[in-house]
Amino acid sequence: MAKVITFANVKGGSGKSTLCINMAAILIRAGYSVALVDADQQKCSQDWIAETKDKLLSKVKIIDQAEVGSTKDFDFLMIDTQGSLTKEMAQFLLQSSLIITPCRVSRDDLVGQGWIEVFLKQSGQSELKPPILTVLNGVNKRSSI
């Protein structure tokens, strides 16, 4: 079964799709097989891969959400979620090997990241809780945390 990396933040525009696509390319370059589920209604990741001329990204297999359980042929499954806390996202989070929450240095992004942690604590799955890695992006010299 593939290792599942879910990119989640309940706030839109935090960089989930961009980070997901770049991580997929890094894993392909390292020799791994990668599948991707674009669970965002905007389908940015799916469009990015479908329209790419990049040799690395063209090796990423786009799969439907219904196929998540049949990813044994891949080393990694990347899940790009939409910017809201839905039942779908809840299922993805609980199936994850790792959750990556991209955040711009803004109050709203950091609060959105916090809701992911709150959800996991309240899920009752504390013994199965996947690690969360928060990635700060869009940081410049004038940013303060």
DSSP string, 2-71: PEEEEE--SSTTSSHHHHHHHHHHHHHHTT--EEEEE-STT-HHHHHHHT---TTGGGPEE--GGGGGG-
Tell me the sheet residues that pair with 33. Answer: none
**3 state SS of 137:** strand
**pTM above 0.75?**
yes
**How would you write the pLDDT of the chain (145 residues) with one tens digit per residue?**
789 999 998 888 888 999 999 999 999 999 999 999 999 888 988 898 889 898 888 999 998 877 777 777 899 999 999 888 777 888 888 889 999 998 887 888 888 888 888 888 777 665 667 888 888 887 666 655 5
Counts for the chain of helices (H) and strands (E), in that order: 4, 6
